[in-house]
Structure 1
Amino acid sequence: MGNEYRIALAGNPNTGKSTLFNALTGLRQHTGNWAGKTVSLAQGSVEYKNKTFQFIDLPGTYSLFSNSKDEEVARNYIVFEKPDVTLVVLDATSLERNFNLALQVLEMTKNVIICINLIDIAEKQGIEIKERLLTNRLGVPVIKISARNKIGFPLLLDTIDRIVTGAIECQPLVLQYPDEIEEKIRQIEPHVRAIVGDHVSARWVALRLLDGDESLLDEINRLITLKGAS
C-alpha cells in the first residue's frame, strides 16, 4: 500500500531500542516471519498523518559484521529488505561506544535517523548533546529522546514522515579510509555495481569484500540466483 512504510530499529543491547519500540507501538504488535526466512522479528504499527509506519525491532547488536546470527539478521534486513527508514538508537551516556554501529549503518543505507535515547539520564549526569552539530556532521537527522518517558516522540514521528515524503533528504557522511584502502575500493566498486546494481551500496559491499565477509557473498549469490530464477 502506498501509505505504508517500514521503519527498522537498530541499536546496541541495552540502549532502550525495544523500550522505544514498545512505547511507540503499544498493543499494536505482533511477531512476524521475515519473508523467505525462518527468522521472526517483532513488528508493530503507528498511525501518523494518514500513514502507517510499520516498525521492525531488529536484534540488538554491537556491530553489523556478521560475526553472529543476530548481526547477520540485522545487517541483511537493513541491506536487502531496504526499509524506508532505519532508526539507530544510541545511549546518550555511552555515545562513543554506540557510534560504531551508527557509522556502520550510515555506510549501508541512506535514510537514517540517529535517536539519542536516555537523554534525561544524560542531562542528570551533566552530559550535553549538541544534536544540531551532529546532524550537520553526519548528514542525517539526530534526535534526542527518552523512550521511557516518551520525550521527543512528536519530533521523531514528524521526522520519519518528512523523510518518507521527501521533505528531508538524507546525505550520510562518507567515511574516508587510508589511501591504500580507498584505492582498492575504487578498483572493486565498479565490478560490484555491475553485479548488485543500485539495490545495495556498491561501496559498502566493496568494503565488506575487502574484509573477507564470506557470509555476505553467500547472501548476494543467493539473491542473484533467486532473481535469475524469477
Structure 2
Amino acid sequence: MRANTIALAGNPNTGKSTLFNTLTGLKQHTGNWPGKTVIHAEGSFEYNGEQYVLVDLPGTYSLFSNSTDEEVARDYIIFDQPDATIVVLDATSLERNLNLALQVLEMTNNVIICINLIDEAEKKGIRIDEKKLSRELGIPVVKISARNKKGIDQLLATLSDLVNGKIMTTPYRMTYSQEIEDAITKIESKLKVYFQDTYPSRWLALRLLDGDEELILKLQHHNNNRQLEVKTHDVPISVKS
C-alpha cells in the first residue's frame, strides 16, 4: 500500500517542528534537499492502518521564492504534489500567519489549517472560532497544542478523512482587480492547454504575471523542454513544457 505524503508548512516559531516530532517520534531522518544546503526532514507514522510520510518544509513567511527556503517549500508543494498540506499557524499571531496559509490555498486544494499553541492563546484571553474560520477559508481547521499533545487525535482523523476523499474543500482564493483577473483568465487558458490539471493554473498565471523567472526555469526542467509562449500584459514569456 502506498503511503500518503503530507507536507508540513508554516512560519518559523509556530511549533511546526514540535508537531513533526510528536507525529513521527523516532521514525524520522534528516539530510539536505537535493542541490541545496537547506535541511530536509522526513518522518513516518501510521494512523488507522494507513501509512503516512511527513515532510517538514523549511519555515517561511511566504512562498514567493525570494530565498532558498521559500523556493524549496514552494517547489515541493507544486512539483512533488503531496496528498495533503498541513499549514501550522501560531494561535497568538494568527493574522500574521494567515499570509502563508492564503498562499498555500492558491497552490493546492488539499489543505488543513492547524492552529497550534492554542493553550498559550487561551492564557492571553485569545479565543478562536475554528468553525467560522473553516467556513471562511473552505478547508478544515483544527486547534491543537503540539507540545501537550492536545487535539492531535482530531488532526489525524481530519487528515485521514481529507486524503480519503471524505472531506471536499473549496479553498478561498484572492480576487484581484478586473484588469488582473482578465489577464489571469487569458494566461490560464493557455496554461491548461499545455499542462491540463498537472499544476494549479491560476497560481502559475499569478506567478508569471509577477515575472517569476525562477519558476519559468523550473517548468522547463520538469516538463521535457517543450516550448510554450505565454503573454503577460503583452510581454511574451517563454515557458517550455
TM-score of the pair, normalised by structure 1: 0.94
CA distance in 1, matches of 2:181, 2:172: 15
Residue deviations 1:121-152 (CA, integer Å, cap 9, x gap)? 00010001000001111010000011111111
Deviation at 1:193, TM superposition (A): 1.5
In structure 2, what is the equivalent of residue 187 of structure 1? 186
In structure 2, what is the equivalent of residue 141 of structure 1? 140
Root-mean-square deviation (Å): 1.5
1:220 aligns with 2:219: yes
CA distance in 1, matches of 2:32, 2:163: 24
User: Which runs of structure 1 show a deviation greater than 3 angstroms over 4 or more consecutive aligned residues?
Assistant: none
CA distance in 1, matches of 2:77, 2:18: 20
One-letter amino acid matched to 1:136:
R
1:48 aligns with 2:47: yes
Deviation at 1:24, TM superposition (A): 1.1
Q: How does 1:62-73 map to 2 (within 5 A)?
A: 62-73=61-72
One-letter amino acid matched to 1:185:
I
In structure 1, what is the equivalent of residue 35 of structure 2? 38
Deviation at 1:178, TM superposition (A): 1.3
Deviation at 1:112, TM superposition (A): 0.1
Tell me: CA distance 1:28–1:201, structure 2 relative to 1, closer, same or farther (3 Å).
same
Residue deviations 1:64-107 (CA, integer Å, cap 9, x gap)? 00000100000000011000010000000101110000000000
Give 3-state SS (helix, strand or coil) of 1:208's partner.
helix
Residue deviations 1:204-229 (CA, integer Å, cap 9, x gap)? 0000000111111110011112799x
Moved more, 176-185 or 71-80: 176-185
Give 3-state SS (helix, strand or coil) of 1:93's partner.
helix
One-letter amino acid matched to 1:198:
D
Moved more, 109-118 or 170-179: 170-179
CA distance in 1, matches of 2:69, 2:204: 19
CA distance in 2, matches of 1:227, 1:146: 47
In structure 2, what is the equivalent of residue 168 of structure 1? 167
CA distance in 1, matches of 2:138, 2:171: 5
Gaps of 5+ in 1: none
Q: What is the identity percentage for the equivalent residue pairs of Structure 1 and Structure 2? A: 60
Moved more, 25-34 or 8-17: 25-34
CA distance in 1, matches of 2:191, 2:225: 18
In structure 2, what is the equivalent of residue 12 of structure 1? 11
CA distance in 1, matches of 2:140, 2:226: 34
CA distance in 2, matches of 1:203, 1:159: 27
TM-score of the pair, normalised by structure 2: 0.90
One-letter amino acid matched to 2:35:
T
Give 3-state SS (helix, strand or coil) of 1:132's partner.
helix
Deviation at 1:13, TM superposition (A): 0.5
Deviation at 1:32, TM superposition (A): 5.3
Deviation at 1:196, TM superposition (A): 2.1
CA distance in 2, matches of 1:204, 1:213: 11
CA distance in 2, matches of 1:72, 1:115: 22
CA distance in 1, matches of 2:226, 2:148: 45
One-letter amino acid matched to 1:213:
D
Give 3-state SS (helix, strand or coil) of 2:6's partner.
strand
Deviation at 1:192, TM superposition (A): 1.4
In structure 2, what is the equivalent of residue 25 of structure 1? 24
One-letter amino acid matched to 1:38:
G
CA distance in 1, matches of 2:32, 2:70: 17
Give 3-state SS (helix, strand or coil) of 1:140's partner.
coil
